[in-house]
Amino acid sequence: MPDWMSSPGGVLLVALAAVLLVVVVVLALVIWSVKRHGDPKLSVVSREPIDRLVTSLSGLTHGTCLSGNTVEVLENGHFFDVLLEAIAKAERSVHFETFLWKEGQLGAKLAAALAERARAGIVVRVLLDANGCKAMGEAACTELAAAGCKVVRYHDKRLRNIGVLNRRDHRKIVVLDGRTAFVGGHCIVDSWLGDAQDSEHFRDISVRVSGPVVTTVQSAFSENWVDETGEMFLGDDVFPVLKPTGNVAVHVARVKPERAAPAVKILHHLVLCLARERLWIQNPYFLPELEAIEAMKAAVKRGVDVRVMVPSAEASDMPIVQHAAHHNFERLLEGGVRIFEYRKTLLHQKVMTIDGLWCAIGSSNFDDRSFEINDEITLGINDAALAREFEAIFERDMAQCVELELGSWKQRGAWHKLKDRALYLFNEQL
């Protein structure tokens, strides 16, 4: 034993080091324990087609399936044409929630539309993720405030938020008069304008929804609004009684119970086990856990056509995420999963289709940050016509893709492989 360790100071240092080690071990066990309770086991077996299991899907994801809705698919910049027109027609309330807003042409148009409604005497509530919207610009902020819009920043950098700064509001929600809702992936950035015609204009999909399920989407908005402001809004202006507008059944996954598996994670993982013919996924940030990978490989073994479409690292706005995702591509390809890289521009839609019967769309990426940390929303839609529409979109997007082949993928360069492995170490936070 070195002499310094037997001195009073040395004994104290050793004791402090031992205490520190115990603290580190205890904290690691706490983190492991919390995460363990949020991991659903992918061992579900069912002979029923997915369209007959919607009540189970909604129940397991802490929701209720509601029939009588209409759902309209809106692609690329056309989404904003429809959205801005709908905002201009709002008569009672406008609720707007987004993760990403950057100064530009689109932001100016949206701020003007929201401000006009507020000046017309309509209550306009705007909920912005403090981190994602930090570059929205002073002009938009000033216009919204001057018009009387209620603008709230979610988890801004204050001492009271120190424990939740890593938890972001990744939802993209608009609710008008409590009767019409917009949900999807579109962000308030000029890159989302246009028609995905080049690398400067992104590819994305959102939906416009009407019918009884809008009440549930409104509830999702209220969750973080009340969390930040304490204000509870009520009455027919925001929660009217909604009659059926169509024949589409929709359920909403968005709940994150304390120390239990979040609804969006359960939904995205559960349907992997239920596909019988086709399982097609479009997602910009695809980092499934190993158990989900095994579930996809098991689906292939039972005869399911499993396809995944992601942007290439060159087209992505987050190439580090794509390289982390690459770490598991070899496992997926070996298991028979077909992977397509969209190379024209950023493919940002978060869409799943199962067997041409059921589909899902929302804000959630297929990664641990969306499943376990961020606040997200996903609509599960039980409608064959809409599922086929999303499948047709997938097939159309394949024209801009290159399909990865196992042999050539294994031969990618050493530097590429090193980046993949190194960045995957941070997959739960990307």
Residues annotated as part of the active site: 170, 172, 177, 348, 350, 355
212: closest CA among 235, 234, 245, 236?
245
**How far, in Å, CA of 1 to CA of 4, rounded?**
8
**How far, in Å, CA of 162 to CA of 158, rounded?**
7
Contact between residue 70 and residue 95 where contact means Cβ atoms under 8 Å apart: no
178: left (phi over 0), alpha (psi -120 to 50) or beta: left
Residue 307 CA from chain centroid, whole number:
19
Q: What angle do CA 283, 172, 227 make, to 5 degrees?
A: 125
**How far, in Å, CA of 209 to CA of 67, rounded?**
12
Contact between residue 382 and residue 250 where contact means Cβ atoms under 8 Å apart: yes
Token couple for 387: 């599922």
Contact between residue 286 and residue 325 where contact means Cβ atoms under 8 Å apart: yes
- What distances in angstroms separate CA 91 from CA 104, 180, 234, 237, one per listed residue? 27, 12, 16, 9
Compute how many other C-beta atoms are within 10 angstroms of the C-beta atom of residue 341: 21
